[in-house]
A and B are shown apart, each in its own frame.
Chain A
Amino acid sequence: MKIVLTKRLKVLLVVIPATLLMAGISAYSSIVSHQAVFEGCKQRELRLAATLIQADVQLQMEKAAARASIVVNLPSIKESFRAGNRARILDRILPAFLIQRDRFGVLEGQFHLAPATSFLRIYAPEDGQGEDLSSFREMVVSANKDHEPRKGIEIGRQGISVRAVDLVKDADGYIGSFEIGMSFMTVLGNVKKNTGFEAAVFVDDALMSSIATLVPKPDSERIVAGFRNVEATDWKVIKSLVTPELLISATDIKMELKTIAGTHYGIVIVPLLDYKGSHIGSIIATQEFEAYQNQMAAAIVRAIAFSLLQILVLAGIVIVMINVMFVRPAATTESPK
């Protein structure tokens, strides 16, 4: 009996760990493959948000260029600009531009004379007439120098905008340039509307402080690691997720997953490059990934449940078979002795 029991124990010691191992491997591989699928989905969603941000910035540039092109081709504007008549220009386009500002996110409209001297700020006619902007407005300098329209992101006196500069020319030749600046809030609003991501723009605070002098300084909580939050769809959400490390490390498109109070968030950081391609800040977009988190947990529960079922059935069959084939008959044979 003792020998039989020892044999049974040996068989069990081999079969049970083998069953456990197989069930464990099966559960692990299932969990890992699910994890890969969900990670892929998260990354794809973040990539999509990044693509939409970039595409929308480009779209705003196109819209700015289209508006600038209309203005520079209006005969009355050419005539007034040639005559240096600021009042008449303002009279002609201010009503239309107030609507553009209030309804379509146009933040700036400015006429310049070469190389980059402010001639007329539509929304602030009294500010900075004749100011030389050439030290920080390279887009304007370049457009006026090469006589070619320009598009890009740049910080101006009224803050950061998605901009387009077009040239004002008449029959007598080149007069100057006209620029439209679009608000980043339009980009962020579109990202939120299309993807559900909360988004924000952060710009180098030192640059903003030295260049954007017409913009009031924000609250200190809106300055993180030397970057100033210029716009946000919901600052409360962004504030809880943005860290100095995140902003400092964002030199290329970066996707991160972060867990705060047990909730997973996906964060995508798109670096903000100005007209020259210099890194001046970031656009950050974030969304809760609770759905993925729950689906992953459900996949883990299923994998573990199926493995336990495997163990229960396989181990049970093996134990029953060993007892029936070896232990019980041996015990019966030995007991009369």
Chain B
Amino acid sequence: MSRRVLVFLVLMLLSNGTLYADEIRMPENTPRPLKIGVAVFVNNITKVNDQAGTFEASLDLQLRWKNTDLAFNSQEMGTNRMEFDHDSATKKLAGIWTPALTLTNATIQSLEQGLFIYADGTVVLIQRVKGIFDAKYRLEAFPFDTQNLPVHITSERYNTNQIALIQDQRDINNSGLSKEISLLSWQPKRLSFVTSRTRGWNGQFFPEMQAQIVLTRLPAAYLLATLMPFFLVILIPTIATFFIKMDVDKRMGYCGSSILALVALSFTYSSRYAMLPPNSITMELIVIGSGYQIVIILLAVTIFNPHNANRWFSNKFIIPEIISYLRWAIPLALAGLVLTRVMLISLIL
């Protein structure tokens, strides 16, 4: 029994020993927290998937820090910068300390690394990352939305007392969006950065920086696809009620068909734009359309029903006058309401 315990303890110690041996210690002669300059340059965005809450991008993550232990004499070396790429970079990186930052919201598809070590000990690690990034899309303003697609750069090993993620003018100058980025229905605007910290499982705080790719949706195609079917659905009962003389039951038949079409449109919107929140433009259109249908039905059974109308109003001129007013006022009010809602949605940030 005691032998088993002893073996277990030896194994545990050995495993711990192996762990610590793998971890290269932070540079000694540098102030704490060690400043890590972060720059992100987005080379390309290949897909923006707001339904799945992801985007695919290729970016260069540049990390810069100082490790005076790696400083060298530029005259002896004949250069002020040592350059390592691909395998040589991987090999070199295995032997030096790195801040071990991770892209926590990325599923990395490919990673290429390059390393520069300058004579004064400045280390610049460039990682070309291609991957799928998780993003929380805010779609209240759809199709006028602007999305901040995040790239979370987080340290999971070193806390805020050990390293700090910073950006000075060099890092800002090295960051940005490639002018070559071309996306269907989206316009790249800018790249912004937010520095924060996350709380680890042990209660310690770990530094985090978020590079936010700001994209604006081009709304024209979406607007057309959303508004056209809506107005077509509404058009039939409007014409049947205001501009064609017909019996009430026939008029109600058109209204019924239009209501069914509106329900079908609601399902289409739900499946086509499943990611949209309940207060989105599509839901507002369905609510406005339902309200309009109710108004049309009420008008059809009251004002537009000669049997009821003549019974309620003694003045024989009032019904034709109200009808002639409603003929232009109701469609105008509907158009105004839809236009106002669309404009207000476009102004949501």
Contacts and interface: CB of A to CB of B under 8 A. Distances in A.
Say which size band chain A's interface belongs to. 20 to 34
A301 interface: yes
Contacts of B347: 294-295, 297-298, 301
Interface stretch (A30-38, A47-55, A266-274, A323-331): A323-331
Nearest to B318: A324
B349 A324 contact: no
Contacts of B183: none
Interface string B173-192: 10000000000000000000
A75 interface: no
Contacts of A234: 169, 172
Given A99-B31, A298-B347, A312-B333, A305 B172 contact: no
A290 B336 CA distance: 26
B321 A309 contact: no
Given A305-B336, A312-B333, A320-B325, A298 B344 contact: yes
Main secondary structure of the interface of A (DSSP, over half): helix
A291 interface: yes
Residue among A291, A295, A305 with max Cβ neighbours from chain B (10 Å): A305
A232 interface: yes
Nearest to A189: B166
- Cβ-closest 3 pairs across A and B: A328-B317, A102-B31, A305-B340
Interface of A: 98-99, 102-103, 232, 234-236, 290-291, 294-295, 297-298, 301-302, 305, 308-309, 312, 316, 319-320, 323-324, 328-329
A323 B343 contact: no
Given A312-B329, A316-B329, 12 more contacts: A103-B32, A103-B33, A234-B169, A290-B349, A301-B344, A305-B340, A312-B336, A316-B325, A319-B325, A324-B317, A324-B321, A328-B321
Contact of A308 (B169, B315, B318, B336): B336
Given A234-B172, A298-B344, A324-B321, A309 B315 contact: no
A320 B313 CA distance: 14
Given A309-B333, A324-B315, A329-B317, A294 B31 contact: no
Interface of B: 30-33, 35, 169, 172-173, 315, 317-318, 320-322, 325, 329, 332-333, 336, 340, 343-344, 347-349
Contacts of A308: 336
A193 to B, nearest CB: 8
Contact of A320 (B33, B322, B340, B349): B322
A190 to B, nearest CB: 13
A289 to B, nearest CB: 11
B85 to A, nearest CB: 29
Contacts of B317: 323-324, 328-329
A224 B33 CA distance: 35
Nearest to A232: B169
Given A305-B336, A309-B336, A312-B333, A294 B349 contact: yes
